[in-house]
Amino acid sequence: MKLVFATHNKNKLAEVKAIMPSHIELLSLDDIGCTEDIIENGSTIEENASIKADYILKKYQVNCFADDTGLEVETLNGAPGVYSARYAGDQKSAEDNMDKLLDELKDKDNRNARFKTVIALRLQEGKNVFTGIVNGKITTEKHGGKGFGYDPIFQPNGYDQTFAEVSAEEKNNISHRGRAMQQLIDYLKLKAK
């Protein structure tokens, strides 16, 4: 089965390819010749994932899925949330985003946060949504050189390391994206029977 992952993000693509079963041929937007930047103007993470997946299915008539992820910080009433990628501005700089968040939390005792990924699957015959959540906290400074985005400042519950310090395999086993992807994979396995 061919399935398009609606992303240009090479880091996300590598994470997902590492856990996708071998009988599924995973393609990126680049592989299908989609160079446009799909406007994510939804007010929720769920809406943004659906906007991307619906766009690809309609324009390219291919089975696809899209994800959107947000970091939700408890003391900031869920911010940056749907605006996580552009938290410090439209340049989408991970460093700037982390610096802004660390600055906003510098005097806060409550550093509880959660990562949430929503995957919207669009097949010719229907729609499905899968959600993965991992709870943790925001560290006081950056740690680790792996991962991407907010990984150097997010420490999942039960761990003394950030996502940027654990192996890619371990992160895939416990992360928000890994959990949502596992639901997607389980669904595709059921459909294949």
The CATH code of the domain that includes 170 is 3.90.950.10
Pairing of strands 2-5, 25-28: parallel
Per the structure, how many domains does the chain have? 1
Of 37, 67, 68, 186, which one is the catalytic site residue? Answer: 68
Residue span of the structural domain in which 183 resides:
2-192
The three-state secondary structure class of 192 is helix
CA distances in angstroms from 129 to 120, 156, 159, 182, listed in the order given: 5, 24, 28, 12
Predicted local distance difference test score (pLDDT) of residue 95? 95
What is the percentage of the chain residues whose pLDDT exceeds 90?
A: 75
Asked if 68 is an active-site residue, the reply is yes
The structure's pTM equals: 0.91
What is the percentage of the chain residues whose pLDDT exceeds 70?
A: 99
CB neighbours of 124 closer than 8 A, spacing ≥ 6? 57, 61, 63
